Amino acid sequence: MAVDDSGLVVRGSSNDVSRTLPGVESRRMIVYCAAIMSSTAPLSSGSFPIPRTRLFGRETEREAARDVLLEDAAALLTLTGPGGVGKTRLALAVAEKVERGFPDGAAFVQLAAVCERDHVPGAIASVLGVRGHPERTTSQSIASALRGRRFLLILDNMEHLAGEGIGTIVQELLDQCPQLTILVTSREPLRLTLEQRYVTQPLGSSAPGIH
């Protein structure tokens, strides 16, 4: 194991970190930074959880979100919609579609089990392998690790944190990391100035599209 100057832990094998996410098959996820943080190597699709089902009937939404992230270079896209509609599945499909547009990598952070706003930076740092620093907050350490990198950060299941001021953390990361792109899934939007929203409708409904 090695550590770079940004405080990023570079792990040596896919067995270093294993996580089980609700709604996906249990498997070891490759979140070690040799895969997701290299400035030269593209992200392996193994860095994302494997969905239980194939994407079905969401091709239009996937392409629309892809255009927002790559063609429009949006800094923040939130996939909203009711619970169980398939926001996480769509986010994974979008991430797989756009990952080559982020040469410095991508990371998927599951926040369903995070109960308090102040624990969110720790969850992100854990996935990225960012070490704590005695003279920095966790958010500052994350920003230091991501600054200057063309990176995609996926924050899944944020709705229960919306009333906790979670938008402040997201805004600070975007302010300090101009090349960072964040893809969020949440029942409620974050209501930030930079935010673009896509309302994920139940299959068979007419989707209102990007806002």
The reported pLDDT for the residue numbered 38 is 37
For every one of its 211 residues, what pLDDT tens digit does the chain have, with 9 covering 90 and above? 444 444 444 333 333 333 333 444 333 333 333 333 433 333 233 357 777 667 767 788 889 999 999 988 899 999 998 888 889 999 999 998 998 999 999 999 999 999 899 999 999 999 998 988 888 899 999 999 999 999 999 999 998 887 778 899 999 999 999 999 999 999 999 999 999 999 888 776 665 556 5
The reported pLDDT for the residue numbered 20 is 36
The reported pLDDT for the residue numbered 72 is 87
The reported pLDDT for the residue numbered 24 is 40
Neighbours of 11 (CB within 10 A): 18
User: Angle at Cα 204 formed by Cα 153 and Cα 64, nearest 5°?
Assistant: 35
- DSSP secondary structure string for all residues of 30-92: ---HHHHS-SSSPPPGGGSPPBSS---S-HHHHHHHHIIIIIS--SEEEEE-STTSSHHHHHH
The reported pLDDT for the residue numbered 31 is 36
- Could you write out the three-class secondary structure of 158-200? CHHHHHHCHHHHHHHHHHHCCCEEEEEECCCCCCCCCEEEEEC
Neighbours of 8 (CB within 10 A): 23
pTM: 0.75
